[in-house]
Amino acid sequence: MMKHRRWICFLTIAVGFLICAQAQQTGSWGDQGDGTYRNPVLNADYPDVDVERVGDTYFMISSKQHMSPGMVILESKDMVNWTTIGHVWDRLSWAPEYNWNEMRGYRFGVWAGDLAYHDGTWYCYQIDSRHGLYMSSATDIRGPWTQPIQMLTNEKIFDDPVVFWDEKEHQAYLLCNTAKKQKRPENTTPGSENRLYKMSWDGREIQDSGKVIYTGPGAEAAKIYNINDTWYIFMAEWFVGDKETPLGRPSKKNDRKQLVLRSQTDSIYGPYEKKVVFERGNGFERSCSQGALMQAPDGSWWYMHQLIQNIGNPFQGRPQCLQPVKWVDGWPMIGKDIDGDGIGEPVRSHEKPINGFPVTAPPTDDEFNPGRLGVQWEWNHNPRDSHWTLAERPGWLRLKADRPVAPVKNYRIHGQLFWRAFNTVSQRIMGTSTGSAVARFDLSGMKAGQRAGFVRFGGIFHLLGVHVEENDTRRLFFMDMNGKELRGDAIHGNDLFIRTTNKGDRAAFEFSTDGERFTRFGPEFTIAFGFWSGDRLGFFCWNESGENGHVDIDYFHYDYDGPKQELKGAEKNGCLNDALR
C-alpha cells in the first residue's frame, strides 16, 4: 500500500509541476513554446550587448547610460530566454555628475562594454566618453564587483572596448574605438580609428600606445575571436548612400552593417582582409549589427545583435535579435543570404539553438518585499539612499520627498523639474505592440508641496500623480514633457491606483480609487526614444517646498505581448505545496 501511495504522490507532484510549467506566457516575439523563436528574442531596451559563455550558461551585459545601478547582467541556458541577475556597478561612482545631487549625466555614464572570463575571474570593461576606460572584476558574476579602476583617460579614446587573452603568446590585448582623437594626417582613410593596445595579464593596465588596426565610417563595437588559429575582428560600420540624411536617421540608402576582419597571418596585428557579412533586409526596417558571436554545445554558431535606432521613433530602444551563423570559405554568414548577394540578412524566426528549457524573461512585476529592490529597477542617476526604503513599511516601496536639485546654467535638460528629481526609479518597457502596467499607491504620508506618482519617460516624460496643495488638498495632475499641467479633482482617500497602457508608441494614463473602476485622465500621448534610452515605466517623488512627505507603493504589475513567467515565487511554492498535499 505504501508503494502505491508513493506512486500516487509522485504522479500528483508531476501533474502539479506540469500545471506550473504550463503557466508560461508566450507572445509575438521570443520563445514560441514549440521549439522555435521569433525575433527579437529580447524585445526591450538592452543595447550594446556582449555575451560570454561559461559552462552551459550564457551571460550577457548591456549598457544603460546614466541609469544606476549600471551595466545590467542577464543569463540564459539557450540564448533565447534571458533573465536579469544583477548589475556590475551598484553606483556610477567615477564622476560627480551621476550623483543624485547633480543629475547632469544624461546620455553619458555606462556605454558599450566587454564581458570576459579568464583564470577564474570575471572582468567588465567600458568607456565613458567623458572620463575614460574603466574596469571592474569579480570572482562571482553576481558580485561583489570591485570598484572601477581607470585604465585610460578620455583624451585619446572614445568608446567600445574589447579584450582578449592570447594564451599562446601569454599576452593580453584591448581594442577600442579612438575615433579621430589620435588620427594623423597620413591616415587618409575616412572615419574612426580602432586601436589595439597591449594589456597586462591581470587585465588592469595598458602597456603601450597602441596600433591602428582598422579605420572606417563610424567603425566601432569590435569583438575579437580566435577560431581555428585564425584571428577575426567583428565590427559595425556605416555604409552611406544618402549623404543628405545624417547617420542614425531613417534612410533606405544608409545602413549600419556588420563586417568582419580576418587576419592573413597568425598575428593579431594582421594584416587583415575584410568582408561585409550581415546587412539590413528581409523586411527589417532597422539596421542590424553590433553584437556577440556564440557557440552552442552541438558546435553550431549563433550571433546576438541589436536593432539600431535609425527609424522615425524607436520608442522602445534597442532590442536584441538572434541569428544562425554558417561558415562559408572561412567567413561567417550571419542570418541567411535571402537576396543572393553573398551577404546575410536577418531571419524573422528560426529553430531554437538549444531545447529543453522553459520560457522565461527578465522580471517585471514586483510586490516590493523586504530586502533588495528587484533587479529590473534602475534609478535615474545614483539614488539618494536615505530617501527610499523597503524596510520602514514591509511589503511597500517608500519614496521620500525633497527638493529637486538646482538647475545647471545652460544645461537645457534641467529646464523641467522632473529631470532634476533624484527619486525616480524605473524599468524598461517590453515589446512594441501593446502593454499595460498598474501600481497601487498609498497617499497617507504625502505632505504639502509634494508630487508623486507614475511616470513614462525616455527622451521625453509624461506624469500622472498627486500634488498636495498648501491647504493639504490632494489633487490629481497630469504633466507633459513641456511642463504643461492638467489639474483634476481632489483625491479624498489614501488609495490611488494608476494604470498606463500603450499601443505602439501611443500611450495614456488611467486612475482608480478602488482598483476596479479606472477612469482616463489626460490626453493620449506619444512615447519616444532619447538620451540613448527607450521608454521606461516607473515612479517619481519630489517636493518643491523642502524635505517633507513620502509616498508608498504596494505593487507593480505589467502585462505585455511577449514571453513572461506568470508564476511569482509565492505562487510557485503554493503550486508545489498543493502538489504535495
> Counting beta carbons within 10 angstroms of the beta carbon of residue 561, is it exposed (0 to 12), middle (13 to 18) or buried (19 or more)?
middle
Look up residue 206 and give its amino acid.
I
The CA distance from 118 to 166, in Å, is: 11
Of 84, 66, 50, give the one whose Cα is nearest residue 532: 66
Q: Three cell numbers at 382?
A: 545614483
What is the sign, positive or negative, of the torsion defined by CA atoms of 110, 287, 462, 555?
Answer: negative
Inter-residue contact 225 to 187 (CB < 8 Å): no
Phi, psi of 568 (to 5 degrees): -90, 175
CA–CA separation, 143 vs 137, rounded Å?
A: 9
CA 514 to chain CA centroid, nearest Å: 34
Contact 272, 264 (CB under 8 A): yes
One-letter amino acid at 147 equals: Q
Query: Cα 49 vs. chain centroid, distance in angstroms?
Result: 8
CA distance 403 to 421: 7
CA 294, 298, 300, 305 torsion: positive or negative? negative
* Residue 358: burial class (beta carbons within 10 Å; 0-12, 13-18, 19+): middle
**Strands of 268-328, DSSP E:** 272-278, 288-295, 301-307, 320-328
- Record the cell numbers describing residue 506, joined without a space: 501611443
Question: Which H or E element spans position 577?
Answer: helix 569-580
- The three state secondary structure string of 389-436 is ECCCCCCCEEEECCCCCCCCCCCHHHHCHHHHCCCCEEEECECCCEEE
DSSP per-residue letters across 313-376:
--TT---EEEEEEEEETTEEEESB-SSSSSSBB--SEEE-SS-S---------B---SSSPPTT
Calpha distance 562→435 (Å, rounded): 10
CA gap 55, 577 in Å, rounded: 32
What's the order of all strands across the beta sheet hosting 149-152? Answer: 113-118, 121-128, 132-138, 149-152
Q: Which residues are catalytic?
A: 48, 220
Number of C-beta neighbours around residue 425 at 10 A? 23
How is residue 8 annotated by DSSP?
H
**Burial code of 313-346, b = ≥16 C-beta within 10 A, e = fewer?**
ebbbbbbbbbbbbeeeeebbbbbbbeeeeebbbb
Q: Which residue has the cell 552541438?
A: 298
